[in-house]
Every structure is written in structure tokens, then in C-alpha cells.
Structure 1
Amino acid sequence: MCPPSRPTRSAKSRAATKITADTAEEATVEETTVKRTTRGRGAVKKEEVVEEKKVVVKKVAATKRKGKSQDDEDEDIENKDPVEEETKKPAPKKRKTKASAEEDAAPLAARTPVESMKRKLYIGAHVSSAGGVQNSITNAVHIGANAFAVFLKSQRKWVSPPLDPSAASSFHDLAKLHSYSVGDHVLPHGSYLVNLAQIDKAKADQAYANFVDDLQRCATLGIKLYNFHPGSTGGEPIEEACARIASQLNRAHKEPGTGQTVTVIENMCGSGNVIGSRFEELAMIIDGVEDKSRVGVCIDTCHAFAAGHDLRTPEAFAKTMQLFDEIVGLKYLKAFHLNDSKAPFGSHRDLHANIGTGFLGLRAFHNLMNYEPVQGLPMVLETPIEEKGSDGKMVENKQIWADEIKLLESLVGMDVESEEFKKIEEELQKRGASERAKIQEQVDKKAEKDAKKAEKDAAKAGKKGLAAAAKGTASISGFFKKKVVKEESEAEE
């Protein structure tokens, strides 16, 4: 009699892996061929060859993810001018402490079944792909995400190793295992270095090659949405810069191996020469794209607010979305980045804050979660998750994302006049009060400094104007004086 087999965990439970501050669990699906001996009637032994699949998990070092918090005074890397960024040396890596044992436990929150929601919301975060793109799936499961963003390669280097076929295969298997529709709800993010508006040919070709490589990776993975920053004018006219972006998109859409991936333009906060803070700029790019089925827009709530598009009240939110529809068109709305703002309205500063703690506030996100057109779209958190540990060092706390996903899902249908909503709103605003005050002070000081400079410039221009006017008056007076003398002299003659 054969001994009873030992109970094993299911492949699904093994694949629902976990992430710490500096380790990630790399999940791969391996196929093995084994021979099994069975007993038929009459105790006759039979051998059969069986194909087995198993999920193999091993720990690998984790790298930094997009959306990591910066010093509060620094702008988010997203709105740095790519023309300036490409000349910088990579920043030295920060040493991190290991997370607590609790963080090493399986899923921090269960995924909410979308079919059980009042609205079909697909909310997640920008997760790590350390150790292979397949790990983004397990990292999304870890925080209870129904959608997610990821870098398909290093966002800080021009050239990266090609996509590992085994990683791609594992990505497909794990996506199927965890029921992720990667074509609809995965939103890879492009490199910060890429500037499709670049006017220098050598640099433009470099950016284009990096961009197309990402589109080809998307097609291999079955991903249909690809988010990217429009780039920088480099000081050139905005119309010409938008035309260059559209031209590069037209080229990329015709490249072999890019499938039908939709290139999704992200709106920006309006700092310096960065393109995309005005809806008109997004419309100009789309207008120049030949295949309109392969272009769309991702609205970042923090960027929109900092650029001067208000979302805080139901009336302001409705007005902003109506404006977007009139200028760009809601049919091009493909995704959202969900971030509150540490900086005030129209400040043109991109400082991501946790949901409800910033100047946007919880009501803005209530407006968004109850907005009909967001159903079915991937909505991705890029909020800060670093906090000080007991030893004073910074560690990642992914529970923040897990909690924010559940908070956003709970806003659907919630009464804003209820005690529940008011209590949550008050608590979150209190939590972010010191950060808001600090950034507001910085913004006020800058505004005061800019006002004084403008006043001095105007005074200088005024003095020059008066001097020029006086000189002009003297010239006119001299002209007429000479004319009178000449006329008198001619009269005497």
C-alpha cells in the first residue's frame, strides 16, 4: 500500500508572495516532467509521463520603485525636465533597514472582488518588479490591488537587458493564476529620461529607441496600455514640440512588435518647459497622431491640481472634467494616477501626498470614485509609503497602500454629510497639517520674492521708458525749435 501523500500548499497560495523593504520574492512557474508508477487491476505496474507545473519562489534584492518619497522640499521626479535629467549622474543608493517580521507575512489585504462593488473600480499602486517583471504580480496581490503600474526596465538607464523569456512566461502564468486582465488593468510607466519632443537628432533617436523597446515589451507581455511623460520643449515653441511628439508616436505605432499598445500621455504640473499641464497641449499631441485608437491620456490628480485644474468640490470637479471632455475628449481617458498634493492649488509644484492628507482632500477623491467614466479604468496610487522606523531609518510600509485602496473603494456611495465621512476626513487632514503648512509657507515666500522681483523689473522698465520718453520729447522740441528758427530766417530774407 502506498503511503499517504503529504499535504502541500496550493500553487495559488505559494504565488501570493510578500515584499519587505529590501527583499522581494521572485516567482517563476517551472515545468517538470516526472514518471509516476501506478497499480492497475491485477497489481500490474504501469508507468506514465506527467507534465507538472509549480510556482517556485525565491528571495531577491528589491530596487527602488517609482513614487518613493523625496525630501519634502524636492519636487517629484516625474516633473523634472528630461533635458536636465539626462545629464545628471545617478544618485547614490540609500541603505535601508529590513522591515519587521509582520511585513513578511502574506497579503496585507484581500483583493475586493470587482463584481461585488457598486462601481467596477480597478485600484492599485505602482509596485516593484525587482528580480523580474513577474514579481509585479505577486507584489500587487500583496497589497490587495486590482490594477497596478510597473517599470518594465530601469527608468534611469538608456539601455537595459532584453526581457527574459522565462520572466515573460511566468508573468503570463501568474496573471492568469491571480485573474489579472493585464491588457486592461496594468499600466507600465515609461522612463523619466525619454523626451519625445527632443530636437537634437542624436538624443531624439536615443529617446525613441528606448520608447519603442518598452512598447515591444508591452506587446510581449500582452499589456495594452503604456503611460509616458510628454517631455520638455527645451525652450522651443510649444506647438513645434507637440508636433515632434506626435511624429514620434506615429513612427512608433508602425514599428514591428509593438502590437496594438495604446500610448497614454500623462498630464503634468506645469513646471518649467515640461509639456502637458494644459489640456490644450494634450489635445495638440493627439491631433497630430494618425492612429487615434493608439493614443490616450492618464490624468494624475496631483499634477492636475498643481496645474490649476480644481477637483475639490462637486461643482469644480464637474467643471474640470467637462473642460477635459471639450478640449481633449473623454474617449481618450484611459487611466488615473491617484495622489493628493502637499502643495496648494495652482502652485505648479508636484509633491505627492497620501490620500486625504493634502490640499486636494478626501472630498476630491469622493468626487472621482463616484464619477461614472472611471469604471473599468486602471487607477494607480503613487503616494509615499516611506516612514521612520523605531531606529530612525526610513523603511517602506506597504500597509499604507493596502489601506488606501480599501479607503478609496469605500468612498463609492458614501454620504459626505455622514459622521463616518467627516471623521475620516478630519483625521486625514489633521495628519497632513504640518506638511501642508510647511509647503504653503515655501510657496508664499516664493510668491513674495517673485512679486518683489517683478516690481523691480517694472520699475527699471519704467525708468528706461521715462528716459526714452524724455529723450524723445527733447528731440521733438529740438526739431520744432530748429524748424521755427529756420522759418524766421527765411522770413527775414
Structure 2
Amino acid sequence: MSIAGGHDKAARAAAALGMNALQVFTKSNNQWKAKPLTDDQIAAFRQATAEMGLTDPVAHDSYLINLASPDDVLWHKSIDAMTVELERAEALGIVALVSHPGAHVGSGEEAGIARVAAALDEVHRRTAGVRCQITLETTAGQGSCLGHRFEHLRAILDRVTDPDRLGICLDSCHIFAAGYRLRTDSEYNETIGELDRIVGLGRVRAWHLNDSAKGCGSRVDRHAGIGRGELGLGPFARIVADPRFAALPMILETPKGTEGGENLDAINLRLLRQLEASAEAAAAGGASRAARAS
């Protein structure tokens, strides 16, 4: 949600659309610096999320940050910026700060992963005692971006000094565009099983629910509305019905705007809730039939 006018406005706007999960930027996402948060701004956001019942709010860091950069100036600038982002998220009461792992820009995957791990160690050193977790997001794999293979995330977790301070954010569009299949029951189970084997489902802190405008394995990051892209409705029905993810915040990063006078976020949210309700009804019917059979 947009933080124009204050983070508390974003919380109230999300609740007005019927949402019970929220993702914000801690600051402008296309600027390196921001004015420090005031006590009043922090209190207003915390009060708004509590009043609106928005538990476990999530933030996304600035897209300028690149912890994998081989350029020392940009790398150190990114560490400084990530430290500030994490401190701001902690002040706001945010539980997970979502971050793309970064792009190696030609230095190679191994060098990029090592760079990310070293940067995270430095951010963690500077923010001892902070409870908010940096949550590494799966990526589509455009250009030299890391995170499009589950093995990239595992390698970062294995290299950092304190992996317990890291989580994972799954993005349905990104996973699909990276080449992981989700369209059928067997494909979904295979992909989630691979994620569990390599990273561990206990690491997952949030989902981004987005359809993909491009095909599986395209490595092109183009989001589409729920059921309006190459994924279709099936994968989303499986995700919202999966009990392993029931307690996690699920965030829409779908195209914004209106359609027929209705907010697109509201349309996408309604679709997801219909899928969830259908899955619950089907499960209840199956349980009832099983009880009668016994």
C-alpha cells in the first residue's frame, strides 16, 4: 500500500479494502535517504495496525539496494541503506523486511552470494537486538538477479553467521517465471516439496500472490492480476488452501487501478477469498463423506 500521507494512512486504506495483511515501504522506494521517523508517526502506524486488526505487517526495502554488487561504493551504500531500513521497520513494529537478494552484475553467482552473505552479516552486526527479520524474496531471475533458484537462498543461509535472523518470502509470479511449475496438483506439490527439501518451509515468512504475464521459465518479472496471467486460478487455490501457509501474511503486488469503478486490489482480494471458501467447502464435504463412510 502507498505510504503517501503517512504509514498509518496505508494501514487504514488496506483495512478499508477488507485486507487483514499489509505491506508498505519504510520510506520512498526510489530514494536512498529519508527523514527520520518521528515518535508521532511511529505511534500512529502502530495504533492504526492494531485498530484495523492488521497483524504481522510486512515491509519491502528500497529497490536501489544491491547487496550482491561487486562495486564497493554501491555495496557499502546498500549496507548503510539496509541498516536504516531494518531499523525503521523495527520501530514501526514490522515483523519482516522483504528484500531481493541482489544482482551480481557479471561477477558470477558464487561471488554474488558471498557478497550478499557478507553484507547481511554486517547489517546484523549493526542491528543487534532487532527482532524484525530480513526476508529474502524469490526472484524471476531477470538479468543477473540472484534468488531465482532455491539453491541461491540456501547458499546465503549457509554462509551468514546468524541464519535465524533471516526468512524467505515466496512470490508466485517469480517462482513460476524462474521455471518452477505450479499449475497442477503434482507440479505444485513437486515445487513446494523441492522448496522444503532445499530451504525448509519453516523459513517462509510471507507470500506475494501475483499472476505472471510471462510463461514458466521466461525469467521475466511481469505481474498480472489473479487468474489473468499464465498461472491461472489453480495455483492460487492451492496456496490459500495449504495449511502449511495458513498463518502467513499473503500480499498482493498485482497491477493497481480500477475496473468498472472498482479497485483492482478489491477484485483480486475477492477472488482469493472465493478460492479459499471453495477449498474450505470442498474439504468440509470430503470430511463429511468420510465420516458417513466410516
With normalisation by structure 1, the TM-score equals 0.55
Between the aligned partners of 1:398 and 1:133, the Cα distance in structure 2 is: 23
Residues 83 and 127 in structure 2, CA contact (< 8 A), matched pair in contact too: no
Q: What is the percent sequence identity of the aligned residues? A: 36
Between the aligned partners of 2:151 and 2:127, the Cα distance in structure 1 is: 31
1:160 aligns with 2:31: no
Counterpart amino acid of residue 333 in structure 1: V
Aligned residues: 281
Larger Rg: 1
1:218 aligns with 2:89: yes
User: Displacement, 1:406?
Assistant: 2.3
1:180 aligns with 2:54: yes
The aligned residue for residue 270 of structure 2 is: 406
The aligned residue for residue 13 of structure 2 is: 139
The aligned residue for residue 287 of structure 2 is: none
Q: What does residue range 188-207 of structure 1 map to in structure 2 within 5 Å?
A: 188-207=59-78
The one-character-per-residue Cα deviations of 1:236-269 (angstroms, maximum 9, x if unpaired) are 1211211111111112122247611111001111
Between the aligned partners of 2:255 and 2:33, the Cα distance in structure 1 is: 28
Between the aligned partners of 1:160 and 1:279, the Cα distance in structure 2 is: 33
In structure 2, which of residues 166, 172, 175 is the aligned counterpart of residue 295 of structure 1? 166
Between the aligned partners of 1:383 and 1:200, the Cα distance in structure 2 is: 32
In structure 2, which of residues 213, 237, 260 is the aligned counterpart of residue 342 of structure 1? 213
The aligned residue for residue 45 of structure 1 is: none
Residues 128 and 136 in structure 1, CA contact (< 8 A), matched pair in contact too: yes
1:371 aligns with 2:245: no
Q: Unmatched 5+ residue regions in structure 1? A: 1-126, 390-396, 419-493
The aligned residue for residue 150 of structure 1 is: 24
In structure 2, which of residues 150, 159, 166 is the aligned counterpart of residue 279 of structure 1? 150
User: Displacement, 1:152?
Assistant: 1.0
1:230 aligns with 2:101: yes
Counterpart amino acid of residue 227 in structure 2: G
Between the aligned partners of 1:326 and 1:307, the Cα distance in structure 2 is: 18
Residues 173 and 210 in structure 2, CA contact (< 8 A), matched pair in contact too: yes
Structure 1 runs (4+) deviating above 3 angstroms are none
Q: Unmatched 5+ residue regions in structure 2? A: 283-294
SS at match of 1:254: helix
Residues 302 and 350 in structure 1, CA contact (< 8 A), matched pair in contact too: yes
| Cα 1:213/1:415, change in 2 over 3 Å | closer
Residues 190 and 211 in structure 1, CA contact (< 8 A), matched pair in contact too: yes
Q: What does residue range 29-40 of structure 1 map to in structure 2 within 5 Å?
A: none
Counterpart amino acid of residue 404 in structure 1: N
| Cα 1:326/1:260, change in 2 over 3 Å | same
| Cα 1:336/1:388, change in 2 over 3 Å | closer
With normalisation by structure 2, the TM-score equals 0.91
The one-character-per-residue Cα deviations of 1:180-209 (angstroms, maximum 9, x if unpaired) are 22xx2x110111110001222221111111
| Cα 1:142/1:228, change in 2 over 3 Å | same
Between the aligned partners of 2:24 and 2:148, the Cα distance in structure 1 is: 23
Counterpart amino acid of residue 68 in structure 2: A
User: Displacement, 1:139?
Assistant: 1.2
SS at match of 1:298: strand
Between the aligned partners of 2:151 and 2:145, the Cα distance in structure 1 is: 14
SS at match of 1:361: coil
SS at match of 1:156: coil
Between the aligned partners of 2:185 and 2:160, the Cα distance in structure 1 is: 33
The one-character-per-residue Cα deviations of 1:156-179 (angstroms, maximum 9, x if unpaired) are 111111112211111122222223
Residues 241 and 279 in structure 2, CA contact (< 8 A), matched pair in contact too: no
Between the aligned partners of 2:176 and 2:120, the Cα distance in structure 1 is: 27
Residues 197 and 204 in structure 1, CA contact (< 8 A), matched pair in contact too: yes
SS at match of 2:12: helix
Between the aligned partners of 1:310 and 1:356, the Cα distance in structure 2 is: 15
